[in-house]
Chain A
Amino acid sequence: MEKVLIALAAALAIGLTAIATAWAQSRIGSAGAGTLAEKPELSGTIIILLAIPETMVILGFVVATMILLMIK
């Protein structure tokens, strides 16, 4: 039972952060596309802004890995 709960916790850690990242990137992406259409010189800034939410899913992945490593 404990193993199931640990696996579920790991799944939630990666799953929820992935959803949050996807949502943030979809909004930043569409806003970024709008900005680039008017001001193409801002492409560097837009790429950085688009990459920021990626940290959420990376951290989620790290936390999930740490949780899974506990199962021993």
Chain B
Amino acid sequence: MEIFERIEDRGYPTDYLLSRVRSRRVLYKNFIAGESPVEIWRHLLKEYRWIYIQMNGALRNIFRRFFIYFELRTIFICLRYKKGEYEKIEELLRFSLLSDDIKELLMGDSDIMTAIGGVEGAFLSISDRFGGLKEIFMKDGFRGFEQELTDVYFENTIDSKLHHAIKDFFTYVIDSRNIIAVYKHIRWQMHDYPSFINGGSVKEARLRRIFERQDISGITTLVQKLTGIITDAGNIENSLLKRTTRFLRETARDPLCIGVILDHLWRCHMETIEAELIH
């Protein structure tokens, strides 16, 4: 079973898309201004789908991992809605890039275990490391399943051959997730170790040491060192997101590099989240 829908490659040159995206960057904010949260997310999915369709085969290969990462959210939400909210699932999958087989599993009458098994099967086509998701779901429920799929996806992605901009992007995201996990575990006084994702630029041993010492100031120092932004405990996530945004903006300065597209996709995502929060 494939993860993504097969969309015909129209063979548009990369320069064509880079140029369109550069012109479009400023317009996206206007698209979503004043819209309801549902509409805002619909715009984001439409934009992502539009960009994916405009890409040629080479670009799709480069960005595939990025798009799957964003479709993980769609899969998780659909599985959670599967208990009966079919209209919401249909709405989410309208502009999704997921294959018809997966859409059928998420939308159809199949029970949750069959759907989880189908998702596992689709991800097994990427790597054997995705095996055992069904058992994890039976043991730990949705939360455990989502955590495991995301962690394995990141680790598998960072180990695969990627364009340097995409690889750096995933490294930044892994760093953010690991640091935030440590922070939450300390803040909520959880005694078990957070599950760390391998492949970030911050070593796991360092994060473990911070957790063992229950050292919130150690986290803020680490974040300050990584981002160059003086931060307090309440602003850790924000600072890490700013670090990713800044990196992508720098990558996008080269007008002939795919960083322009990556920056646009990330910017759309961030603006969507901001617009949703304001609403």
Chain B residue at smallest Cβ distance from A35: B19
Chain B residues whose C-beta falls within 8 Å of the C-beta of A33 in the assembled complex? 16, 19
Chain A residue at smallest Cβ distance from B256: A27
Per-position binary interface string of chain A over residues 38-58, scored 1 when its CB falls under 8 Å from any chain B CB and 0 otherwise: 110000000000000000000
Question: In the assembled complex, how far is the CB of residue B274 from the closest CB belonging to chain A, in whole angstroms?
Answer: 23
B15→A37 contact, CB < 8 A: no
Which of A30, A34, A39 has its CB near the most chain B CB atoms (within 10 A)? Answer: A34
Chain B residue at smallest Cβ distance from A38: B23
Chain B residues whose C-beta falls within 8 Å of the C-beta of A39 in the assembled complex? 23
B18→A31 contact, CB < 8 A: yes
Chain B residues whose C-beta falls within 8 Å of the C-beta of A35 in the assembled complex? 19-20, 22-23
B15→A30 contact, CB < 8 A: yes
Q: Tell me how many residue pairs across A and B have CB atoms closer than 8 Å.
A: 33
Per-position binary interface string of chain A over residues 11-41, scored 1 when its CB falls under 8 Å from any chain B CB and 0 otherwise: 0000000000000001100111111011100
Chain B interface residue number, banded: 10 to 19
Chain A residues whose C-beta falls within 8 Å of the C-beta of B19 in the assembled complex? 30-35
**Is residue B24 contacting chain A, with contact meaning CB distance below 8 A?**
yes
Which of B12, B16, B17, B19 has its CB near the most chain A CB atoms (within 10 A)? Answer: B19
Number of interface residues of A (CB under 8 A): 11
Chain B residues whose C-beta falls within 8 Å of the C-beta of A26 in the assembled complex? 13
B20→A38 contact, CB < 8 A: yes
Q: Measured between alpha carbons, how far is A49 from B32 in the docked complex, in Å?
A: 33
Q: Which of B1-58 contact A (CB under 8 A)?
A: 12-20, 22-24, 27
A37→B20 contact, CB < 8 A: yes
Query: Which B residues contact A (CB, under 8 angstroms)?
Result: 12-20, 22-24, 27
Q: List 7 other contacts, CB 8 Å, given A31-B15, A37-B20, A38-B23.
A: A27-B13, A30-B12, A30-B13, A31-B19, A34-B18, A35-B22, A35-B23
The 8 closest A-B pairs by CB, nearest first: A34-B19, A38-B23, A30-B13, A34-B20, A31-B19, A34-B16, A30-B15, A31-B15
